[in-house]
Amino acid sequence: MFRMNRISVRLTAGVMSFVVLLAIVTSLIVAHGFDQAEQAAVQRSAESLQTRSRTALVQLTAQEAQIYDLELQQAARVTRIAADVMVQAHASGKPADWSVVPNVVYRSSQLTLSDNGLLYFDANPNRRTEILHIGSIPPDAITDRSLRDSAILEDLFPSLLAQTETGVGIYFQGPQLTFRYYPVRGLPELELRNGAAEAAQTMRIEDFPVAPNNNPQRRTVWLPPYLDDAGQGLLVSADTPIYYGDDFQGYIGIDVSLTRLIERLRQLRPTPGSFAFLTDAEGRLIAIPAERAATLASRPLTVQEQHPNGLLGATLTDLNPNLAVLAASAQTSAPNALDITLNGQPALLTSAPLPNLGWTLSIVVPLTEITAESQTMARSIETDAVATVRNTLLIMALFFIGAAIVTVWLSQRFLARPIAQMLHGVRAITAGNPGVSVTVTSNDELGELAASFNQMTAELNRRTHELAQTSAELQLKEAQLKVAALEERQRLARELHDSVSQALYGIALGARTAQIQLERDPARLAEPLDYILSLAEAGLSEMRALIFELRPESLQNEGLVAALTKQADALRARYKLDVVTHFDSEPDLSLDVKEALYRIAQEALHNVARHAHATRVELSLHDTDGTLTFAVRDNGKGFDAAQKYPGHLGLKSMHERAAQIGGMLRIASQLNEGTTITVDVSKV
């Protein structure tokens, strides 16, 4: 029978005690190492996630704000297109015959007065647009002109409204509040039923924000949000004024659905618990998903605030005093990020301006959702640590040496190396190296974490590349502007050298001659003095022409006739040509038309000086029966006007300028018999 002696027992007990102690110490060491690795990894990961998430959210907010701004500006742009169409149709002087077009209202006799006398409207069931006119203003010639001029919008409104994603209605309103609206929604019945027709009896267009006294700059005006009485929900409108010359003819407006914008905001959720909202330049709330309003307020909403328009006009500070810092930061013109507290929970708030509207887009993201990935990683590390320690203890009881070797190898292979790689990647990103990546060595949680880490670094690299590309494009544009400025300076230097500097040299030479004559023969002093005077007058004309080219706005102050006279004086002085002018009094034209005629004259005289080999030039400007005729005639070598001249843009630019002002340019030229360029512009 086998018996263990005391030495064996003691040795066995000692070995077992050593094994148990070693197992405990090993377990403690392993547990402590995992704990330190976990804390370091979680801390660095959380810090890195917060930093990168803050940057990514700011970029996302700025991009979304740009998208919202472009979308709203597109809505405003269609109103300017419609206004330009009306102005151009009026300027053409060729009114359309609307009597042959069915279902188009173009005169007030086609309107029906309501039984209560409050509203004139189009009762045609096949009408393509809604026509409304206030009953307190009897239709007259102004009404007929508004209806006739706006009839061109019948075919234009549907295509313009289709170009916007959030537009629900587009309309014209004349100086007598004559209203043309698309699409047809039964507005006459609604206006009469809800009392809007009665309230409109005392309205005046002079009180509207788009009217001349309230909008002298003639800009597109955005109105505050309001609840539509025709059932379209929350709306915001953009109005563009219409002017025939200086005569205000009403405006084109578009209704943009805030309900659709709110639906877009509801879909803007970077994380499950995040939400977005819009505010105006004064910090008033414009749009927010209804289910998130109480979260932003950090309190239950009142019954009034729960209505669709209950929060319109409410400022952020009134809604939640903790948001005062957001209202202050909204005054900046750059995207930013703020740490705030909502309902006792920390959150990250990013905001970016809509540059053309003065509005601000903000996104609120709970901070716990930003750092949730680091907590997942911590739990994964903790789970792996417990499993590893337990397995190590079980294996050490039977196979201590082998288990120790295997444990060290497994720990190094599956834990220490991935964690070290992750720590190296986190440190590299913290040091500013976004191109780092981590090798995925397994399909477990650490492998998933490494893959997620690589996805985040790849996204960061992509966005960094986009920013670098945008920066390069901006630098290219800046370089192009510098080149253009250098070319302009070189052109002015050539002009000064060819004209003024030569005149100054001649003056100096004449002065020396006069000085010599004064000493020798004072009786002959008049000839060099006359020469000096002629050169001074020529240099003065050249300098005035150059200054006028640098300051074309002088057309508004000095007039077209004065500008053309300066051009003639400069041509006469520079090229010694016989320049004859026949000008009527200053024409009553807009600044755009005057500038176009001036540029045409400038190009024509340039061609005469450079190419015609002429000795005599005639300039004329006459007003005959409402048509202004400007002509440039020379006795030069002429050219074939029917032939095309590739690379010569002067003739093409003159034709384009004449077309832009509704005029007609004619060129008559024969070889060796001179050239005549004529521009006819209607003053109506």
CATH ID of 56-373, from 1.20.120.400, 2.40.50.140, 3.30.450.20, 3.40.50.10860:
3.30.450.20
Q: Residue 321, exposed/middle/buried by CB under 10 A (0-12, 13-18, 19+)?
A: exposed
What distance in Å separates the CA atoms of residue 54 and residue 48, rounded to the nearest whole number? 10
Amino acid identity of residue 383, one-letter, is T
For residue 587, whether the previous peptide bond is cis, meaning omega lies within 30 degrees of 0, is no
Q: Residue 522, exposed/middle/buried by CB under 10 A (0-12, 13-18, 19+)?
A: exposed
Beta strands in 446-569 (DSSP E): none
Long-range own/partner contacts, residues 418-422 (CB < 8 A, 24 or more apart): 418/442, 418/446, 418/447, 418/450, 419/37, 419/41, 419/381, 419/446, 421/450, 422/41, 422/45, 422/446, 422/449, 422/450, 422/453
The top-scoring range by mean pLDDT among 272-286, 290-304, 474-488, 654-668 is: 654-668
- Whether 11 shows a pLDDT value over 50: the answer reads no
Q: Mean pLDDT, to the nearest integer, of 80-85?
A: 95
What distance in Å separates the CA atoms of residue 404 and residue 23, rounded to the nearest whole number? 10
- Given a contact cutoff of 8 angstroms between Cβ atoms, the answer to whether 619 and 581 are in contact is yes
What distance in Å separates the CA atoms of residue 478 and residue 63, rounded to the nearest whole number? 23
Q: Burial code of 32-51, b = ≥16 C-beta within 10 A, e = fewer?
A: eebeebbeebbebbbebbbe
Nearest Cα to 156, choosing from 81, 248, 256, 237?
Answer: 81
Token reading at 4: 């263990």
- Given a contact cutoff of 8 angstroms between Cβ atoms, the answer to whether 631 and 678 are in contact is yes
Nearest Cα to 354, choosing from 77, 54, 79, 61?
Answer: 61
- Whether 461 shows a pLDDT value over 80: the answer reads no
Nearest Cα to 227, choosing from 194, 275, 192, 182?
Answer: 194
Q: Alpha helices of 119-165 — where are they, by DSSP H?
A: 141-150, 153-162
Q: How many CB atoms lie within 10 A of CB 650?
A: 16
DSSP 171: E
For position 508, what pLDDT does the model report? 72
223 — alpha (psi -120 to 50), left (phi > 0) or beta? beta
pLDDT tens by residue, 176-219: 999 999 999 999 999 888 888 898 999 999 999 999 999 999 99
Token reading at 391: 């397995």
- Whether 493 shows a pLDDT value over 70: the answer reads no
138 — alpha (psi -120 to 50), left (phi > 0) or beta? beta
Nearest Cα to 150, choosing from 252, 66, 70, 235?
Answer: 252
pLDDT band at 8 (very low <50, low <70, confident <90, very high): very low
Contacts of 580 (CB under 8 A, 6+ apart): 616, 617, 618, 619
Token reading at 150: 């706006």
What are the CA-CA distances from residue 536 to residues 236, 419, 566 (Å)?
Answer: 62, 85, 15
For position 4, what pLDDT does the model report? 46
**To 10 degrees, what angle do helices 400-410 and 372-398 make?**
160
Q: How many CB atoms lie within 10 A of CB 171?
A: 24
pLDDT band at 17 (very low <50, low <70, confident <90, very high): confident
What distance in Å separates the CA atoms of residue 300 and residue 302, rounded to the nearest whole number? 7
Report percent pLDDT > 70 for the chain: 76
Q: Mean pLDDT, to the nearest integer, of 656-680?
A: 91
What are the CA-CA distances from residue 181 to residues 164, 213, 463 (Å)?
Answer: 16, 25, 44
- Whether 7 shows a pLDDT value over 70: the answer reads no
pLDDT band at 127 (very low <50, low <70, confident <90, very high): very high
Output the pTM of the full model: 0.47
HSE toward the beta carbon, residue 352, CA cutoff 13 A: 19
Contacts of 426 (CB under 8 A, 6+ apart): 41, 44, 45, 48
Phi, psi of 211 (to 5 degrees): -65, 160
- Given a contact cutoff of 8 angstroms between Cβ atoms, the answer to whether 340 and 323 are in contact is yes
Contacts of 297 (CB under 8 A, 6+ apart): 305, 319, 320
Nearest Cα to 578, choosing from 569, 586, 587, 589?
Answer: 569
**To 10 degrees, what angle do helices 650-660 and 591-607 make?**
160
pLDDT band at 649 (very low <50, low <70, confident <90, very high): low
Q: What is the DSSP secondary-structure string of 241-273?
A: EEEETTEEEEEEEEEEEHHHHHHHHHH--SSTT
The top-scoring range by mean pLDDT among 53-57, 213-217, 320-324, 545-549 is: 213-217
* β-strand partners of 77: none
Q: Domain residue spans in the chain?
A: 6-55+374-458, 56-373, 575-682
For position 665, what pLDDT does the model report? 93
SS3 content of the chain, % helix, strand, coil (to 5): 55, 15, 25
pLDDT tens by residue, 222-281: 988 877 777 777 788 999 999 999 999 999 999 998 777 777 777 877 788 788 878 877
- Whether 3 shows a pLDDT value over 50: the answer reads no
What distance in Å separates the CA atoms of residue 608 and residue 631, rounded to the nearest whole number? 13
Contacts of 396 (CB under 8 A, 6+ apart): 19, 22, 23, 26, 403, 404
Amino acid identity of residue 55, one-letter, is T
Kind and range of the H or E element at 287? strand 285-287
pLDDT band at 677 (very low <50, low <70, confident <90, very high): very high
Q: Residue 550, exposed/middle/buried by CB under 10 A (0-12, 13-18, 19+)?
A: exposed
Report percent pLDDT > 90 for the chain: 26
Mean pLDDT across the chain:
79
- Whether 2 shows a pLDDT value over 50: the answer reads no
Rounded to a whole number of angstroms, the CA Rg of the chain reads 40
Query: CA-based diameter of the chain, in Å?
Result: 159
The top-scoring range by mean pLDDT among 232-241, 291-300, 443-452 is: 232-241
Q: Mean pLDDT, to the nearest integer, of 47-69?
A: 77
**Homologous superfamily of domain range 575-682:** Histidine kinase-like ATPase, C-terminal domain (3.30.565.10)
- Between 41 and 273, where is the model more confident? 273
What distance in Å separates the CA atoms of residue 675 and residue 605, rounded to the nearest whole number? 11
Beta strands in 5-47 (DSSP E): none
